[in-house]
Structures are given as structure tokens and as C-alpha cells.
Amino acid sequence: MKTRRATDGNGLRRSAAALVALLLVATALAIGGGPAQAAAAPPGRASAATVDLSRWMGEMHSHLDDRPLNGIAMPGSHDSGSWSIPADPGLCTSGWSYNVASLDPRLAASISRAQSSSLTGQLDEGARYLDLRLCKEGGQWRTFHGAPLGGLFFDGPSGEAASVKRWIDEHPSEVVVISVSSAVPAGVDAGEPITRLRDLFGSRVATRTELSATSPYDDFVKAGRNVVLIDSSAAVDQPWAWHADSISDRGSYPTGNPSWWEILKSFFSGSPPQQIYDQTLTLNEKALARDPGADQGRLFVLSSIVQPDLQIPQLFMIRLLSPFFPASVRDNYLMHLANGLNTQLVTKLQTQWRSPELARHMNIVAVDDLGHRPQGDLQRAVIDINTLAEHAT
């Protein structure tokens, strides 16, 4: 009897399990679920909304394979190395704003720190263009912006240059353009940093004699050359150092260095940030609408950045009244302005700038504080430009 009861129990359990399985199958068929109905995206055609930003080129390669490098819409970061500028920085004596910055280094730092993530952080956040500015001060290369100095760049296996090298090696499907410029004292070789980067990246560096801005993305990947080094200081004449004129902003870079009279006039007229945003967005739209002409064969950097010089008096007042302002405004004024602009930039990218007339000229979109965006909405809005043809179909 004991044996029979055990056998009956096993049979009941098997029958119940079969019934549950049958119900699950029936439910799946009723709602159109189940493996047979699952629609998977074709390989290499991931959605911009869900793509892994650290590997977006590889995951979307079917959209990009045949496109020239200067025909791919990609996020970029402006003054990429400035993320490490401290609140009370040292100064680059060769920097263009050294004399002004020396009057108040803390104020200078607040309008010089343009990024909040490290270089590899920016790459993970989708940037495929880095604007790298280096200063040789005290015998060492440091990142800088204007004059305020950031961290050491070439600092052995644990340094930032080495970390970028590791990232490049680990992401062979991601083509990264690095614009390198340097500020040096008299008699110092301005080409040293780009030469050291070339030695560091080795065979991954694309040569301009074999590849160009109009070469298809897939040619870079198949050749294993996923780094483009732009010699913005025109310090080196080698095939691996792409000339400074390989790249153009097509007039989108806001004019800088206003006179003190213009700054004071702006202060007394109460120049709000929206005037700065309007200036940038207007320049951007004109650059996108302009016929490339001689720039057709160059990389195009749309400089969607703020020009904070006219806001210096406002920042000075903020520093005087510092207890009444949060650190995010007082100590990071440039990024505070940038985040106001970036919100409006996302809207432009998702609406007017998606028109075929403007989107066809989209290439690198360089911004301040790239990583300070919820779920990477700015980066994804740029990347999604590459899928417009598919959306149209």
C-alpha cells in the first residue's frame, strides 16, 4: 500500500506539471508571446535608445559599415582632459589665459572645468572624439584648459594615457578621434605628447596615407586602426599625425576673448545665459546648413559649447556671495552653463536638426559635460541620426 500511494502521488505531480505547462503554452499563443514570436534586431543594427554607449559603433555597425568616417554622427567632448582640474589649481605658464587666471585661480578653474568624467568615462559614455589639451609644466605633461592645470597625463601604467590605451585595445570596433594640442615653454618640443601617444597606441593608429576622413568606418575596423590622432599644434610631420586641417568646425565655434568693455557692458545689461545659448545654437544651425565646400573631405566638429567669458562678472559676484550658492554653480560654473545649453541641444537634435537638410552634414557633436545627462539622452540623440534612413523606410 505504501508503494502504491507513492506511485499515485508521483503521477498526480506529473499530471499537474503537464497541465501547468499546457496552460503556459496556451497563454503565450493567445498573447503572441513565446520564442517563435520574438523579434530580434538584425546583428549590428541595435537601437540608439538601448545600445551600450561604450560599444555603440560595434553594436550598430550595419548602419555604419559603408559610411565615411566624416559621415557618421558621433558624440564628442570639448576640453576633454579638464575634468581633473581641482578647485584651487596650479597654472600652465604657457597657457593662453595665464595672466588673467593668475588673478584668481579658483574663479579660473570654475570656468575651465568642462567635463565631469575621466577620459575613459567619456568614452564609456559614447564619446568618439576627444579634445585633448596638454601643458608641459615643471617637466611634466598635465591636462589643462586656458591655464588651470589638471592631473598628470603620462604617469606610467596607472596613468590616464595608459588607461585610454587599454580602452582602445578592449574596444576594437570603436573608432576614436583624438585632437592633441600642447602648450609648452620656449625650447620644448610641442610634438612630444602626440609622438608619445603614437608610440603608446602602436599599430592601432590610422595613417593619413592609407585612410582618410572619407574612408568607410569598416575600413578602419578591418585594418585594426581605430585611433585617429589629429596634430592640432602642427608640431609633427608624420603620416600617423593627421594635419590640423583634417578637421573643421565650419564656423560653429563661439568667438572668445571679448574685451573688458564688452564684459562690463554684458554685466550691466544683465546678460542672461539664454543669450549665450542662442548664440551657440544659431552658429550650430548655420554650420549645419552651410555647403561644406572645401571641408567636404574633412572631419566636421560641431562645437555645441558655451562661451562663458561674458559671464565672468556674474561668476565674480557669485564667488563674493558664495554661501548663498551651491557648489555646482560656484565651483563648476562652466558646466552649470553647459547643462542649460545641453538640455536645449537635445531638443534640437530630436526635432529640427533631424531634418534631412541638416542631419546629412552631422558628424562630431562636441559638448561640455558630456556625461551629465540622464540615461545618455544627448549621446543617444546624436547616435540616432545614423538611423534616419531606416526610420524613413
Q: What is the pLDDT of residues 144-194, one digit of tens each?
A: 999 999 999 998 888 899 999 999 999 999 999 999 999 999 999 999 999
What band does 266 get if pLDDT is binned at 50, 70 and 90? low
Which strand (E) or helix (H) includes residue 367? Answer: strand 364-367
What band does 265 get if pLDDT is binned at 50, 70 and 90? low
What pTM was computed for the model? 0.86
Q: In sequence order, what are the beta bridge partners of 208?
A: none
pLDDT number for residue 27: 36
- Name which of 27-41, 146-160, 192-206, 274-288 the model is least confident about: 27-41
- In a 3-state reduction of DSSP, which class is residue 387? helix
Is the pLDDT at 88 greater than 50? The verdict is yes
Cβ-contact 333, 111 below 8 angstroms: yes
pLDDT number for residue 287: 97
**Percent of residues, the chain, with pLDDT higher than 70:** 82
CB under 8 Å to 167, separation ≥6 — which residues? 120, 123, 124
Mean pLDDT of the chain, nearest integer: 86
Is the pLDDT at 28 greater than 70? The verdict is no
Structural Rg of the chain based on CA atoms: 26
pLDDT number for residue 311: 62
DSSP state for residue 368 in the 8-state scheme: S
Cell of 24: 503556459
Cα separation of 348 and 278, whole Å?
Answer: 12
Q: Which residues of 306-316 are buried (b: 16+ CB within 10 A; e: fewer)?
A: bbbbbbbebbe
Neighbours of 239 (CB within 10 A): 11
Q: Give the CB-side neighbour count of residue 141, counting CA atoms within 13 A.
A: 24
CB under 8 Å to 102, separation ≥6 — which residues? 91, 147
Is the pLDDT at 228 greater than 70? The verdict is yes
pLDDT number for residue 16: 39
pLDDT number for residue 77: 98
pLDDT number for residue 264: 56
What band does 81 get if pLDDT is binned at 50, 70 and 90? very high
Helix axis angle, 260-268 to 312-320, nearest 10°: 60
Least Cα distance to 81 among 29, 31, 132 occurs for 132
Structure confidence by residue, pLDDT tens digits, 315-338:
777 777 777 777 778 888 899 999
Higher pLDDT, 376 or 389: 376
Structure confidence by residue, pLDDT tens digits, 297-312:
999 999 999 887 666 6
Neighbours of 277 (CB within 10 A): 20
Higher pLDDT, 153 or 39: 153
pLDDT number for residue 365: 98
pLDDT number for residue 261: 58
Cα separation of 310 and 49, whole Å?
Answer: 36
Q: How many residues are there in the chain?
A: 393
Is the pLDDT at 82 greater than 70? The verdict is yes
Task: State the average pLDDT over residues 95-119.
Answer: 93
Cα separation of 261 and 265, whole Å?
Answer: 6
Cα separation of 45 and 304, whole Å?
Answer: 27
Cell of 354: 533631424
pLDDT number for residue 17: 40
What band does 19 get if pLDDT is binned at 50, 70 and 90? very low
Q: Which residues of 117-130 are buried (b: 16+ CB within 10 A; e: fewer)?
A: bbbbbbbbbbbbbb
Please work out, in degrees rounded to the nearest 5, the angle formed at the alpha carbon of residue 165 by the alpha carbons of 126 and 201: 115
